[in-house]
Amino acid sequence: MPTDADAGGVSGGPTPPSPPTPSSSNLKPRLTAFQAFEGLAKWLDVVRKIAVSLVVIVAVAIATVLLVRETRKQALAIDPVIVELLDLKEAMTPELAAQTLAKHLDAIQHSGAAEWSKLYVDHSSSPIDLQIPGVPFTMRAGMREVASLFGRSRTTIQASIVSRRASPALAASVYVVGDPAGRASCESYADASGMDRLLECVALEVMTFVDPKVAASYAFNIEKAQCKDIDAERRADEDDTTRELRRLKKRRSACGFERTRSLIAKALERGRPDDRPWVSYVYGRVHLARAIALTGIDREDQLSELDQAIGRFMGARSELNNAPSAVATLFEAYVMKGTLIHEATTTMPWQGDAGSPMQYQLYLAEATFEEAEKNLKAISSNRTPELNALVKGFEGQLYYRLWMIKAHQRTKKGIVTVADRRDAGEMSLLERSNASYAIAAQYEPTAALLTHWGNTLRALHRFEDAASRYLQAADLAPDWYAPRINVAIAYLDRVEHAEAQPPLVHVLYALGSSSDYLGWVSGGDPLDGFLSRIDRALARTGVPEEQKIYQACRPATPRGDYDKMVYVTNAKQCLDKVTIAVNLRAASKPRAALKGG
């Protein structure tokens, strides 16, 4: 039988429930709201201290960098300009005149510093920092004051502007404080832009004292723009002596580069060894600018200027560390020289004798391009993307020009043609040119590069691809005629060099693009080569009557003085007559016949 012990446990009574075991959470007192906010405040205080420390560290670092820069580079301070004009209502305030002067100084500095520092031509460039009146205090301004404690004082510019009482002119004088020779004056006609021109002149005079190399760069850009139109004042009745005398005077006045050369001499007076390669570079550019200005006027002098340019560039090439600007100008001179020599043979009757003057000229042109190619290959393969694009772009030009000489020798004609697909040598040169242009275009596809690339593709019979490159070039340079006329030439060549009778749609494309060029772009210069291409393309259409229509109305090549727009109008009217005839033929064809590859 069950006992009480069995039912109630050992104690004889009911077993009480076990008390709950206290956990660790129950032992921790709960935080009040005040304590929670107090903890947050402590955490935020730590964050604030860290942030303040970081700000102080950054500020000290920036101040240190600015101080180092201020102690290393030259600084200019411009005092308020004294302005005393007869008409005070139109006069600039002294502060505004000083700020305008600073604007011109900055423009001149960028014209020079970007050329010599960015492109690694000048190894001792020290950009000039301007302190302009009226500008509020900044950390940089404060560092200027600290830098002056280390003996790096600012160069102070003082200038004044007055009106001439005897003539409607403005005169200015400028003084570089502390430099006994640092005085100059400028004068300008008192018209709407006279004050701006005057302050530009003052800025250039200041830069001449501060850094003549930068001033020379700016002066070169100005004088280069003036070096043109040597034959602009020709007269129909002048004899040979009068014509050459006029050209000689114009050449010396327009392309003398007197200011540039005087500033170069001033830079050399400082006696810095690293100025020598810079001088060779600038003089090379002077000779190249003169060669361009002599185009079509004096071939022998043009070749002489190109030889001098190449000599200057080659002499300084190693010291210039293959700077992109130096490479570009050197090989521009090479290509221009070889092209000039080759183009002289295109008007000569063919002479196959190896000892003939024509074959000698072809040899000289080919040797010039091969020498340029050799110098290109000498440039290290470890180069920047910019330099690599330049090298590849010039490689493309050189291979194309070498192909042109081979094509000339094959066709015995001076006109630009397409390659013979059966000639492995011609096709190899063009394929190498195409590959080089493709690499160059990956960096910066300029209008000139795309146009040259289109020429190569056209020679490879890739006419649609060529037209595409020309159109891209036209988009980049809408005022340049070359891409537009080359679009028409590409489509005309597609008709002329078709293996079978060209599709009618190709003929319409060729005539339409030619009409587009004449109607919208042509300035009226002689179009004999272009009009001859149209004639040759019409000879391939299989309809002799259409070519006869064109030949009957084609305008003759003008001689002497002529109305350029009348000439263009006559050429377009003639082309439109042929286009109407071709369109009538197209209208009579089944629609499927208009489709072409």
Give residue 563's identity as a one-letter amino acid code.
Answer: D
Contact (Cβ atoms closer than 8 angstroms) between residue 117 and residue 195: no
Give residue 28's identity as a one-letter amino acid code.
Answer: K
Q: What is the DSSP letter of 122?
A: -
Its sign, for the CA torsion 442, 446, 447, 453, is: negative
* Residue of 279, 111, 280 lying closest to 204 (CA atoms): 111
Task: Tell me the mean pLDDT in the region 283-293.
Answer: 95
Distance, CA of 324 to CA of 330 (rounded, Å): 10
Query: Is residue 128 pLDDT above 80, yes or no?
Result: no
- 178: tokens are 């502390």
Angle of CA points 306, 308, 314, to nearest 5°? 100
User: Cβ–Cβ contacts within 10 Å for residue 140, how many?
Assistant: 17
Chain segment 315-338, per-residue pLDDT in tens: 776 677 667 878 888 999 999 999
Least confident interval from 82-91, 145-154, 215-224, 340-349: 145-154
Distance, CA of 408 to CA of 405 (rounded, Å): 5
490: pLDDT confidence band, cut at 50, 70 and 90? very high
453: pLDDT confidence band, cut at 50, 70 and 90? very high
- At which residue do the structure tokens 């003169």 appear? 290
Distance, CA of 316 to CA of 78 (rounded, Å): 37
- 319: tokens are 């010291």
Distance, CA of 199 to CA of 83 (rounded, Å): 12
Chain segment 354-397, per-residue pLDDT in tens: 889 999 999 999 999 999 999 998 888 888 898 899 999 999 99
Query: What percent of the chain has a predicted confidence (pLDDT) above 90?
Result: 47
Distance, CA of 251 to CA of 486 (rounded, Å): 32
* Residue of 446, 470, 434, 310 lying closest to 390 (CA atoms): 446
Task: Tell me the mean pLDDT in the region 186-198.
Answer: 86
Task: Tell me the mean pLDDT in the region 42-64.
Answer: 84
